[in-house]
Structure 1
Amino acid sequence: MSPASSSLCLFLFLSIFSCIKSDELQILLTLKTALQGSNTDVLASWVSNNHVCNFTGITCNSDNFVKEIELSNQQLTGTLLFDSICQLQSLDKLSFGFNSLYGTISKELNNCTKLQYLDLGNNGFSGSFPSISSLSELRYLYLNNSGCSGVFPWASLEKMTNLISLSLGDHNFSPTPFPVEVLKLTKLNWLYLSNCSLQGPIPAEIGNLGELINLELSANNLTGEIPTDIGKLNKLWQLELYQNRLTGQLPVGLRNLTNLQLFDVSTNFLEGNLSEVRFLTNLVSLQLFENQLSGEVPAELGQFKKLVNLSLYSNQLTGPLPKELGSWADFDFIDVSENFLTGPVPPDMCKKGTMKGLLMLQNKFSGEIPASYANCLTLQRFRVSKNSLTGTVPAGIWGLPNLNIIDIELNQIEGPITKDIGNAKALAQLYAANNRLSGELPEEISEASSFVTIDLSNNQFSGKFPASIGDLKHLSTLKLQNNMFSGSIPKSLGSCNSLSDLNMAHNLFSEQIPSVLGSLPTLNSLNLSENQLSGQIPASLSSLRLVILDLSNNRLTGQIPVSLSIEAYNGSFAGNHGLCSQTISSFKRCSQKSKISKDVLTLIICFALGTVILLVSFACFFYLKKREKDHDPSLKEESWNMKPFRELVASEDEIIDSIKQENLIGKGGSGNVYKVMLSSGKELAVKHIWNSDTNGLKRARSTTPILGKRGGKSQEFEAEVQTLSSIRHVNVVKLYCKYGYTSKVNEKSDVYSFGVVLMELVTGKRPIELEYGENTDIVSWVCSNFNSKKRVLGLVDSRIPEVFKEDAVEILRIAVLCTARQPVKRPTMRTVVQMLEEADPCKLVRIVISKDGTAKKIEVKEDEKINSSA
């Protein structure tokens, strides 16, 4: 070849070489564009004025062509343009695993014919995986958890005879038998086919893959027995067959896998004994749980020098555990629960100070808890319940700093819970029920601030329950039943705002039920039965939404709150002979002159009338009634325009300071009447009404009608009401602010009149209307329509907003009770007040009924609940 020809060839080669270089730069820049929105720092070096071999993640060969793209686990997102990428003619490694790539894996991947390493696993691709039969030089194929689905092209693996690692697990592929193509890949040392819809038996030919060090076929639908030929895989380091439907025994050849360190065949249907396991001396982790294995745990396991994890729970194993179990290595975890194991707890599993979990519940272990575990500072879970353990809990165990659960229930353990428990800052659950524990519970328990559940039931604890229990802000369940705790129930329980289940039954608790229990926002189960509790049932309990309530067999007295007198709580108050009720027939009816409880709530109603005006008004009223009865023609309708009551405003202090013996001017069935001299010079008559609630002073402004029949019309009275309110409803007293309610008035007839007033308020009707029918009044009209919800809603005044009509119906229901035909069946006024408190009539627009029968709405400002004009 002439020199000229040689120069021309060199020129052409350099030109082609330069073009290829230029093309590779453009390919990578195009790839960068497709990955926009990714981690920009990784691709920051991918710029046109930089050489491609200097791009992050790019490796070039000796000719400076792109050989590898390694961008796995780089937080990349976007799509891969395989038609472009596979134009990199020297590319033998393509790794994009553990990113967030999406789109489809296109068939152009087949053009990357020189690939030896392909990793697209752990991404978000979609669609089916294409046939890649042209990638015959592949040695490492990682497609696990790529997002692909459908039928996998198993046949395309047949020519990949050089494959060393194959990972296709964690896919929702179409169900298929174990692929025979895989059995021909005899150079494989890593096979991961877990959770990829394999079904049927494991072929005996699996034994031909003699180079395997890892075999994972878990979470499929494999059936039949584990083939004996698996014993030929003597290089295996890990064998995982868990969560299948395998049956039969552990195969005889298993003993040959002397290099096996990780063995997991849990959650299958295996049976037989563990004799083959005793030869696997290099085991680090043995997981055989949830099978039907039987027989004893081989004594050889006590000599396994590398064993750190042992899970044998939910089998039928018997006999003792090896004494030296877990004492050689940095033992981490044991769970042998739900078997029939006997003997003592091995003492040295935390010998190296690394153990985190000790779970041996529901067996037949006996003896004492080894003292060595009191020093196991790494321990997080200690569960030995449902055994036959005796002795005491070593004091240090109570205070282990990393423990989040202690479960010792259903044993024969005795002794106290020591003060060490104050150091258990991570302890969330304590299950110690059904033992023989005794002594007083230490105050330090409240320092274990992570508590969620405490169950000390059915023991022999005594003494006062720690008053500092309220410091446990996360406490949800507290079970103390069947002990001998005494003293009062701590009021600090009212600070346990997460409490949902409180059981203190069958103890010696005394004094009153703390009213603060009624403020617990999530409490749904309360059992205080079989104690020595006294006093009244706090009205505050009415605010709870309890699924379970049991206050039976105590020494409680007074009235059962009306809202608790329901069928759902049937039997909840039995055995309290001092209780009374107006609605539960099994209890005596409450007397109106019953002794005042020392925790009563005072409701003070200030009537807007001076004492002198009060007497004159009554005289005028009865005089007019008499004239009407005698048909006095001199009495004209227009003359009946008197308003004997007017609004007056008084301060709370003025009223409260006047409630004393020297100002007593009268006595009634529901309280005493006192003379109050205001700073303005006005005199008031104030009634001090007895009630069972105690809470803060609030003000309610009220318009209160009183029934004064004259031609079917009603008088209008207004009053300023000052009240020590109930916990939940202040304004309810405005319906109880009935002038003239003294000992001279028969209460049952008075309740009847009040019921009529309620009916007038809700319906907007007068006591007598033509629409009721001949000889029919408002009472008969309301009661006759009360058997249909639709008809009842039709009774409600149309001027009451729709949103409040259900509340109005509840007031009508109370009115019907008040107007029962037989006086003995009518509730007391005190009961009416309680019912009204629960019905919350404050929601209703205040309707004033004037003497001409018209009605107007007045703005209700209390709690800013309603603002309505006429």
Structure 2
Amino acid sequence: MTKTIISYHTKDGAARQAEFEENTTSFDLSRLGAMDIDLGPISETANLEELLLASNKLKTVSLTPLANCSSLQVLSLLKNRLQDLSLKGLEGCTALRELNLGGNELKRIDLGPLGKCMSLERLRLFGNQIEKLDLKPLSKCTNLQYLELETNHLEKIDLGPLRECRNLVQLNLMYNSLTEINLGPLKACSRLKFLYVQHNALSTLDLSPLESCKDLTILRLGNNDIKSIDLDPMSKCLGLRRLELAMNNLQSLDLTPLSNCTELRGLDIAGNLLTSIDLSPLSECEALEELYLFSDHPHENQFAELDLTPLFSCKNLEDIGLPETVDLTAESSVKGRKDIPSALRELIDEERISWV
């Protein structure tokens, strides 16, 4: 029986080989300590479905031998030392579902060949040093569900091509240097559930395109420089469970749209410049479990008084972040309720609430 033999070198320069039986559909070449590797023999394995090269020490690798691997579904180069990588060869991988290039040192990458990978569902480019990225080839990847671009050096990005990715479920842009983002193209992504944009340099963000994302579940916008934001589009996101706005520069915030978000579990608005907040809309968020209005961030909200009455309707509220010095009040009519949330019961036991 013919075997496929893959040759590589380790750090000490030693030549090594990995052998795979003829009918093997998965080649695991992870954690070999490979400094370089010759994938040439793979060009003869048309039935290959999975190629794993994670956790090696590769600085570059030629993927051209994969051009004949039309059955390849998963390719992982996670956690190497890739500084330069051409995706040439992947245009022949028409069955490719997942490409993982996370945890490398890439500063740029041409996604062009992926325009032929119409079955692509997940693209992972997190943890690199990418400064610019052209997403145009992804407009052909209409099955794309997960796009992970977090922890790079992106200052701007055109999301326009994603309007063709109508199956997109998750877009992760956190920990970049983005100063602005046009979310307009996401209006077409009606299946979007998770949007992560925290830890960037945004001063403003228009959420209106998200009103079409009825399935939106988690929206994280923390650690930016946002001074004002209109939450009205969130009133259309009835399945929203977590909203994070912590560590911005918000001076005012209207929570009214959240009254429609009856599945909301967590809301974090700590670390802003708020001096007052009307919590009334949260009385409709009976599933709320966590509410952070204050968390000892370097700059914090400066509430003098907070009316907690609406929160007595949040039966599952277990954790609430409040400043030690704020005056807490609640209407006496809710004092005798039997189903007082545990977070508020604790405040009552500490005699922190004044009944009015």
TM bucket, shorter chain: 0.7 to 0.9
Q: Return the TM-score normalized by structure 1.
A: 0.34
Residue 202 of structure 2 aligns to a residue whose secondary structure is strand
Equivalence for 2:213: 472
Equivalence for 1:559: 306
Could you tell me which amino acid in structure 2 is paired with residue 378 of structure 1?
Answer: S
Could you tell me which amino acid in structure 1 is paired with residue 156 of structure 2?
Answer: G
Could you tell me which amino acid in structure 2 is paired with residue 531 of structure 1?
Answer: N
1:490 corresponds to 2:231: yes
For residues 58 and 34 of structure 2, the distance between their equivalents in structure 1, rounded to whole angstroms, comes to 6
Equivalence for 2:28: 288
Equivalence for 2:290: 548
Judged with a 3 Å threshold, the aligned counterparts in structure 2 of structure 1 residues 521 and 349 are, in CA distance, closer, same or farther, namely: farther
447-456 or 386-395, larger mean C-alpha shift: 386-395
Judged with a 3 Å threshold, the aligned counterparts in structure 2 of structure 1 residues 398 and 512 are, in CA distance, closer, same or farther, namely: farther
Displacement of 1:410: 1.8
Displacement of 1:549: 1.5
Equivalence for 1:442: 183
The one of 50, 54, 67 equivalent to 1:327 is 67
Q: Larger C-alpha radius of gyration, 1 or 2?
A: 1
- Stretches of structure 2 that go unaligned for 5 or more consecutive residues are 7-13, 295-299
For residues 139 and 175 of structure 2, the distance between their equivalents in structure 1, rounded to whole angstroms, comes to 18
Displacement of 1:331: 6.0
Equivalence for 1:525: 266
Could you tell me which amino acid in structure 2 is paired with residue 397 of structure 1?
Answer: L
Q: Which has the higher helix share?
A: 1
1:536 corresponds to 2:277: yes
Does the aligned pair in 1 maintain the 2:35–2:56 contact within 8 Å?
Answer: no
For residues 445 and 329 of structure 1, the distance between their equivalents in structure 2, rounded to whole angstroms, comes to 33
For residues 276 and 232 of structure 2, the distance between their equivalents in structure 1, rounded to whole angstroms, comes to 15
Q: Return the TM-score normalized by structure 2.
A: 0.75
Displacement of 1:507: 2.6
Does the aligned pair in 2 maintain the 1:537–1:558 contact within 8 Å?
Answer: no
1:347 corresponds to 2:87: yes
CA deviation digits over 1:159-217, x for unaligned, max 9?
xxxxxxxxxxxxxxxxxxxxxxxxxxxxxxxxxxxxxxxxxxxxxxxxxxxxxxxxxxx
- Stretches of structure 1 that go unaligned for 5 or more consecutive residues are 1-234, 236-256, 264-271, 575-584, 591-690, 693-731, 737-754, 759-805, 818-824, 833-870
Q: How many residues align?
A: 331
Does the aligned pair in 1 maintain the 2:305–2:328 contact within 8 Å?
Answer: no
1:515 corresponds to 2:256: yes
Judged with a 3 Å threshold, the aligned counterparts in structure 2 of structure 1 residues 332 and 405 are, in CA distance, closer, same or farther, namely: same
Could you tell me which amino acid in structure 1 is paired with residue 271 of structure 2?
Answer: E
The one of 112, 123, 138 equivalent to 1:397 is 138
Could you tell me which amino acid in structure 2 is paired with residue 548 of structure 1?
Answer: E
Judged with a 3 Å threshold, the aligned counterparts in structure 2 of structure 1 residues 387 and 536 are, in CA distance, closer, same or farther, namely: closer
- The correspondence of residues 662-811 of structure 1 with structure 2, limited to 5 A, is 807=338
Structure with the bigger RCO (C-alpha within 8 Å, sep 6+) is: 2
- The correspondence of residues 108-507 of structure 1 with structure 2, limited to 5 A, is 235=1, 257-258=2-3, 275-277=17-19, 285-288=25-28, 292-301=31-40, 304-307=43-46, 308-330=48-70, 332-352=72-92, 354-373=94-113, 375-376=115-116, 377-397=118-138, 400-507=141-248
Judged with a 3 Å threshold, the aligned counterparts in structure 2 of structure 1 residues 476 and 426 are, in CA distance, closer, same or farther, namely: same
For residues 315 and 515 of structure 1, the distance between their equivalents in structure 2, rounded to whole angstroms, comes to 48
Displacement of 1:448: 0.6
Residue 107 of structure 2 aligns to a residue whose secondary structure is strand
Percent identity over the alignment is: 15
Could you tell me which amino acid in structure 1 is paired with residue 290 of structure 2?
Answer: I
Could you tell me which amino acid in structure 2 is paired with residue 275 of structure 1?
Answer: Q
- The correspondence of residues 81-92 of structure 1 with structure 2, limited to 5 A, is none
CA deviation digits over 1:696-755, x for unaligned, max 9?
xxxxxxxxxxxxxxxxxxxxxxxxxxxxxxxxxxxx9xx79xxxxxxxxxxxxxxxxxx9
Residue 487 of structure 1 aligns to a residue whose secondary structure is coil
Judged with a 3 Å threshold, the aligned counterparts in structure 2 of structure 1 residues 433 and 808 are, in CA distance, closer, same or farther, namely: closer
Could you tell me which amino acid in structure 1 is paired with residue 27 of structure 2?
Answer: Q
CA deviation digits over 1:825-854, x for unaligned, max 9?
9987xx45xxxxxxxxxxxxxxxxxxxxxx
Equivalence for 1:719: none
Residue 412 of structure 1 aligns to a residue whose secondary structure is coil
Judged with a 3 Å threshold, the aligned counterparts in structure 2 of structure 1 residues 311 and 349 are, in CA distance, closer, same or farther, namely: same
For residues 809 and 501 of structure 1, the distance between their equivalents in structure 2, rounded to whole angstroms, comes to 22
Judged with a 3 Å threshold, the aligned counterparts in structure 2 of structure 1 residues 535 and 468 are, in CA distance, closer, same or farther, namely: farther
Judged with a 3 Å threshold, the aligned counterparts in structure 2 of structure 1 residues 457 and 374 are, in CA distance, closer, same or farther, namely: farther
Judged with a 3 Å threshold, the aligned counterparts in structure 2 of structure 1 residues 421 and 507 are, in CA distance, closer, same or farther, namely: farther
Displacement of 1:555: 5.7
Does the aligned pair in 2 maintain the 1:385–1:408 contact within 8 Å?
Answer: yes
